[in-house]
Amino acid sequence: MDHQDFGARIRKIRKDRKMTQEQLAEQLNISPSFLGHVERGTRTFSLDMTVEVCRVLKVGPEVLLRGSLPEYTPEWSEDGTNNELAHARKVLRMVQNAIEYWEE
């Protein structure tokens, strides 16, 4: 994974949320300096901290790890009802894949 891209995504989302580095760092209980290093790609977060960043910024891990959200295309069963269980399974697989990608 490219740490500079990862950090740039955090910076972009933080700015989109109208947050300063100081505000995000405070919510994450880290120093603004460390957050700055992460945003520049010279340092990185642990998996646990990445999950916390996702929670605070209200984004899924795939957004930080890959930079995009997969398109939501609901599946429909033959009787015309939306198959939410199948969609939930797909989302779970995407999150698992994102975590595996992060751990590489």
Does residue 27 form part of some domain?
Answer: yes
Does residue 49 form part of some domain?
Answer: yes
Residue identified by tokens 């990185």 is 44
Say which CATH number the domain at 46 has.
1.10.260.40
Does residue 81 form part of some domain?
Answer: no
| The model scores a pTM over 0.85 | no
Does residue 19 form part of some domain?
Answer: yes
Domain of residue 42: give its range. Answer: 3-66
CB-neighbour burial class of residue 35 (10 A; exposed 0-12, middle 13-18, buried 19+) = buried
Tens-digit pLDDT profile for residues 19-37: 999 999 999 999 999 999 9
Residue identified by tokens 């209200």 is 58
Does residue 80 form part of some domain?
Answer: no
Does residue 85 form part of some domain?
Answer: no
State both tokens at 70. Answer: 């997969």
Domain tally, the chain = 1
Least Cα distance to 13 among 71, 49, 44, 56 occurs for 56
Does residue 101 form part of some domain?
Answer: no
d(CA 7, CA 12): 9
Tens-digit pLDDT profile for residues 30-77: 999 999 999 999 998 988 899 899 999 988 888 888 776 444 444 445
Q: What does the DSSP 8-state code read for residue 82?
A: B
> 101 versus 49: which is more confidently predicted?
49
Least Cα distance to 56 among 44, 66, 64 occurs for 64
